[in-house]
Structure 1
């Protein structure tokens, strides 16, 4: 970023405050269901698990549970645990070996959590997921119901990606994304991501002493994403950018998020006591419905439709459905009922929806009034390309 514009650029992202704003404090204090994600860098020590951190986090979560707060834990650390148990010097390069190491390590990870929580008379349950589990509506609902049942039993769900069976097509990619998906799945009140640095900085604080913490982010711009892309995480699969993308998902759905330093003493209890730590991401007003969260963030797009400015305005500002007249282009091949992105004329993604027509049929009727659908196709099951009940806005415009 150009230095002369740096202050002007950043003022639209955050407000440089040292105290917790009243609404931030209220959002945290009123949270009754919390997703907590712990990163690899926090959990790892000497190529193995940091048992002190596991013990501390387990104690703090137990204290929150004693205050009637439901906690879902998304935990990295399986790879580090497996490397230590097998006696390897580093993470293997080959995918089958990495998956085997994760399988060994996952057992060790859940065992350590079980021992740590047992000290506070709490039980844990292991849940391993792939993105395929959440893209299938039936399995999505089954996963949600299982986790709800565990929470009703006062059991801590410990969730991780099922690395042993995951292939590229069904991977979440990183636990930041997984944590965001779980927060959406369970309609959480807040997502807290614990990492190895204090929060989001304007530069990488590990190699730049002039770096400044950004305490509050009110909107996530392309410039902010670019900034975060330069702050990597050496041990995990995700750096700061994956955390920003997770924040983008949950805040668009109306859920706040915090990035904070996981090794800071009593970080969770201090946050819930009203202390300001890390970076707080302000959520958009209004919550997406559970169905729209599933459409917008759990499904993988099978194509895209390009829509004109009038259709963009009607969908965003008036809550309208997408009609054939607003479509100006189609990308990819897909069938009726497929999840499809809809983009503006600059190819910027506005949201995701379930289409009522195949790509071939949309090409035939795009730009036309609904009265001409039957003339072109020989039938007219729907007026809408995407009904408003089956579309979710995922862009900053929401």
Structure 2
């Protein structure tokens, strides 16, 4: 058998916040259940990242395998309901395994794709993850398999990890797998397979190296990893594929040296997010702001505070994309910006013109000081995004 060719060493691009996805192949024990055999090395990598001031959100598989081990005395049931029950049983086991390896607290966050497509739930999920990171708590994210309908499919957590990376404005998506990276063909059966150290664009040819969609041809689920990298790239996030079973590779990664595949992106995170904000359809209605707020938004890149709001028109809800409108010198309204609102129209009308400290008093609760955060806002002109 021809030896599998190794990847050259390269320097990892700078990053401050990353999502690390760990597949069940790195956590499953030989006799069933979960093992710390490879998780320990990955935990040490995460700890070294924490020590250097970096942030990591962990997307971890393994719940179904852990649940099956707990119920191994029962006859095997491959139905979707049984798999969901196994996931429910195994979730606590998965988090407990990771918690044993860390001194800092961990928090379990269960998400479905619907949570991340639904704008209001998207905002809530992002706020929760951001707050956990601010508390120096490491979130452990998994698909909410217990209530999902058809999400228990090969590699789904790869795509979930890419979505979470965009959700938290990560710089990097790290995918730990049981192979060294992307090859031009399956290195286990093709002696001519060559390692692909770096990818600048996910072309049809590159995607073809991973085999057909939904198959194990190539490198065991590599297709879904490239799909995840494609999603991350659209958000301006680079992706690294590496072998989480190779302790030397993991140790070097902790020193920002990669033996694996780096999938680059030509888009910046800001460009990708601004493009998305510019093109997401706005709901009917708008937020009417005064001249000072309009200037602060367009010239200073500020967030929209209630003090600068005149009123809200329409019946939009928290999490909706709305237009922010000012009054021109000719008295005609014009669109200053568009963004995702943290408050519904009725709530905005109750806090309009007030100081941020008065929000809780007027509403009885608060979603934060900003009506629209600058990260969720894009300034508009006739030709697109303003400089």
* CA distance in structure 1 between the partners assigned to 2:89 and 2:56 by the alignment: 26
Query: Greater helix percent: which structure?
Result: 1
Select which of 174, 198, 207 maps to 1:216. Answer: 198
Q: How far did 1:173 drift? A: 7.0
Q: Structure 1 pair 233/264, CA: closer, same or farther in 2 (3 Å)? A: farther
What corresponds to 1:312 in structure 2? none
The structural deviation recorded for 1:291 is: 6.4
Alignment correspondent of 1:32: 16
- What is the CA–CA distance in structure 1 between the aligned matches of 2:164 and 2:90, rounded to whole Å? 22
Higher mean displacement: 68-77 or 169-178: 169-178
Which residue number in structure 1 is paired with residue 101 of structure 2? 116
When residues 102 and 254 of structure 1 are mapped into structure 2, their CA distance, relative to the original with a 3 A threshold, is same
Q: Deviation of residue 193 (structure 1)?
A: 0.2
* Unaligned ranges ≥5, structure 2: 1-5, 282-315, 324-334, 336-377, 381-387
Point out the more displaced range, 169-178 or 278-287: 169-178
- 2:28 counterpart (41, 44, 51): 44
**Paired positions, count:** 281
Give the TM-score normalised by structure 1: 0.63
**Runs of 5+ unmatched residues, structure 1:** 1-15, 300-336, 338-353, 357-381, 383-388, 392-398
Tell me how far 1:68 sits from its aligned partner.
0.5
- Structure 1 residue 180 corresponds to structure 2 residue 162: yes
Change in CA separation of 1:58 and 1:233 when aligned onto 2, cut-off 3 Å: farther
Q: TM-score, normalised by structure 2?
A: 0.65
- Shift in alpha-carbon separation, 1:280–1:92, aligned structure 2, 3 A: farther
Deviation at 1:172, TM superposition (A): 11
Q: How far apart, in 2, do the equivalents of 1:19 and 1:169 lie?
A: 36
Q: Is the 8 A contact 1:183 1:250 kept in 2?
A: yes
Q: How does 1:120-199 map to 2 (within 5 A)?
A: 121-168=103-150, 174-199=156-181
> 1:251–1:282: 8 Å Cα contact kept in structure 2?
yes
Deviations 1:318-351 (CA, angstroms, capped at 9, x unpaired): xxxxxxxxxxxxxxxxxxx9xxxxxxxxxxxxxx
Q: Which residue of 2 aligns with 1:18?
A: 8
Q: Is the 8 A contact 1:132 1:170 kept in 2?
A: no
Q: CA RMSD in A?
A: 3.5
SS of equivalent residue, structure 1 residue 44 = coil
**Secondary structure in structure 2 of the residue aligned to 1:84:** helix
Whole-Å Cα distance in 1 between the matches of residues 35 and 236 of structure 2? 33
**CA distance in 2: counterparts of 1:278 and 1:199, whole angstroms:** 5
Query: Which structure has the greater CA radius of gyration?
Result: 2
Which whole-Å deviations, capped at 9, do the CAs of 1:135-159 have from their partners, x for residues lacking one? 1111111111111111111111000
